[in-house]
A and B are shown apart, each in its own frame.
Chain A
């Protein structure tokens, strides 16, 4: 139905940052040079109403809310970084916002881009493993024909 929309590079790294744990991001933060930043929107826990569609494709409806944390910062040099992620981890949101700003100015192949690419592959590997475990439970049912 709805093809997976192609993501921009920024949408891709924001998705990786959203799925990362605070420890993942803190480890990267400790290993690279990070510019000073000003907090524009302090890390805040709120909710997003999650919408579904009847039958998967029909009328929109509200399934329920999800806890979400957001943060917006501006790094030295003036670039703004945004973080929005499920969960209630304020510290993670602030690091993710700083990284989002840095990734917008760091040239491709820079240390942060490399670190985020590694995180992306690790996340993909976990997903792949989950899928292969599910695939091991794929079933072929045979209908038994009576008579004849």
Chain B
């Protein structure tokens, strides 16, 4: 039971001021600008946009500034803002094959049409500090430019295997239905893949990383390969009701991951490779990979596999991946529970008193018996 408390207004106003001062830090140090965060903390900004479920790099940067870099608090700010926006409609489904590739790698094919593009990655860094960054003002040397640009259209790697009939096809269900939307309709289990993917796309990167890791360590029953990871800009198109044709709204950066998993076949399904899919705003490779691992694990029901492990259980995954909800429930424990606690205190005192009384009575009986 929740019981309202009142008072504390002056203390709360004072804490707002104290927070603002603490957020600013030492005033002798120059203040961070939102543009600096957007340009120089791009991976943190991507995480906030994913978990805040709104593509808006400027606002995600402001959220990080306001939240002192706390990614979950920042996502919360973005979610709260999102609810104030009128929704104009839904985009035309993105065409990631038309991505302007900045990075594209495959762990399954060495040579693939269009090539392997390392792009801006930490994979081949030595994880040694670059102390030059401690002294501001050093300009990186300009990145090398090849003589020619990349192909404008690059096939997705799993589609190459698909031509041999060895890859689970990815085709829309009959009628290509409008996807379910958990921000508009309550979720009822069992859920379809559209809701699972939406839920993971806004889910906590750390939670999905842990679950994805559990799949690899044997708590998920499949052995994945990174079929392809690609990152780059994709145009978003929208058909306004009053125009009736698609309008290109501009580009958003996306990271896409296609996991490939061996599947021995079942009564109804031939042996083949099955797929797990991950897609995220910005450069968010770990998120997209984790999502793809868990997406495949959650297909257990459709593929007739036993759902033995947490990553295969959609209620567990969907109900616990949202970090704004999770943080809300965990952190609400900070709020006054004085009356609750008083009730439990009374109860424990009573039980203890009863037990002492019972023990005393039993001891008395025993004494009498001995006499």
Contact = CB atoms under 8 A, between A and B. Distances in A.
A and B touch in their complex, CB below 8 angstroms: yes
Interface of A: 1-2, 4-5, 7-8, 11, 14-15, 18-19, 44-68, 70, 72, 82, 84-88, 127-141, 143
Given A55-B170, A82-B243, A136-B143, A61 B91 contact: no
A86 B235 CA distance: 10
Nearest to B82: A65
A82 B116 contact: no
B249 interface: yes
Q: Which 7 A-B pairs have the closest CB atoms?
A: A55-B170, A58-B170, A135-B146, A15-B248, A131-B149, A66-B55, A86-B250
Contact of B87 (A5, A47, A53, A86): A47
Contacts of A59: 170, 172-173, 179, 192-194
Interface string B67-108: 000000000000000100111111111111110111100000
Classify chain B's interface size: 35 or more
Contacts of B153: 4
B193 A46 contact: no
Nearest to A63: B201
A18 B250 contact: yes
Nearest to B196: A61
Nearest to B232: A134
Nearest to B147: A132
B245 A11 contact: yes
Contacts of B89: 48-49
Nearest to B110: A141
Contact of A60 (B53, B177, B246): B177
Given A1-B159, A53-B94, A54-B277, A48 B170 contact: no
Contact of B197 (A49, A61, A65, A66): A61
Contacts of B116: 138-141
A139 B118 contact: yes
A64 B51 CA distance: 9
B309 interface: no
Contacts of A65: 53-55, 82, 85, 87
Given A49-B87, A66-B252, A86-B249, A55 B275 contact: yes
B125 interface: no
B159 A136 contact: no
Given A65-B55, A66-B54, A45 B85 contact: yes
B354 interface: no
A88 B55 CA distance: 11
Nearest to A134: B102
15 contacts: A48-B90, A48-B249, A49-B91, A52-B279, A55-B170, A58-B170, A58-B277, A60-B176, A62-B179, A67-B59, A82-B242, A132-B146, A136-B146, A137-B103, A141-B110
A18 B237 CA distance: 11
B91 A14 contact: no
